[in-house]
Amino acid sequence: MLNRVILIGRLTQDPELRYTNSGTAVASFSLAVDRMRPNQNGERETDFINIVVWQKQAELCAQYLHKGRLAAVDGRLQIRTYENREGQKVRVAEVVAESVRFLDRAEAGGGSGGASSGTSSGTSSGTSSGTSSGTSSGNNTAPRANPDNKRTPRYEDDPFADDSQAIDISDDDLPF
């Protein structure tokens, strides 16, 4: 059996951080994800997908992610049912994130200044093994210094981070 969801989209609102009665952090937000193919009118439609993040990752998302930021979410689809105030049963589909990557840089003065965050695992009950499931964290992406003042890449560095250097690729090198 497999239940895996990978999404890349922009936040439609700032994450809402709450804490359970036992003190476990939980954040929720919505991602706007464009569909791959246009509809019959030639327009690309957008899905708005609810995301739930637990524990330290929830606190990091609430601190560094804001409306409009680009993020990648890796997790599982969860369908839950609850009873609303009118007594009606409501079914909700949401993605429980196991890891969230911050894909763009924060605005100057209001964010992490980095391109990635740490990742942690959580379950729908809010408990976790407490171990980190990723090797990348906000403080591992700093370049090493060397005598020539050139950037020395490390395996922890995000290969998709913007290092503000031009990429010289000819059309003949593109696979499409």
In tens, the pLDDT along 75-126 reads: 999 999 999 999 999 999 999 999 999 998 766 544 433 334 444 344 333 3
Burial degree of 7 (CB within 10 A; 0-12, 13-18, 19+): middle
Q: What's the CATH code of the domain at 68?
A: 2.40.50.140
Contact call for residues 127 and 84 (beta carbons, < 8 A) = no
List of residues 6+ apart from 112 with CB closer than 8 A: 63, 64, 102, 106, 138
Domain tally for the chain? 1
pTM score, two decimals?
Answer: 0.59
Domain containing residue 144 = 5-173
Look up residue 67 and give its DSSP letter: T
List the end-to-end C-alpha distance of the chain, in Å, as a whole number: 34
List of residues 6+ apart from 106 with CB closer than 8 A: 64, 66, 69, 112, 113
Distance CA 121, CA 64 (A): 18
In tens, the pLDDT along 125-149 reads: 333 333 333 333 344 444 444 445 5
Distances (CA, A) of 113 to 27, 69, 102, 139, 153: 21, 12, 10, 11, 18
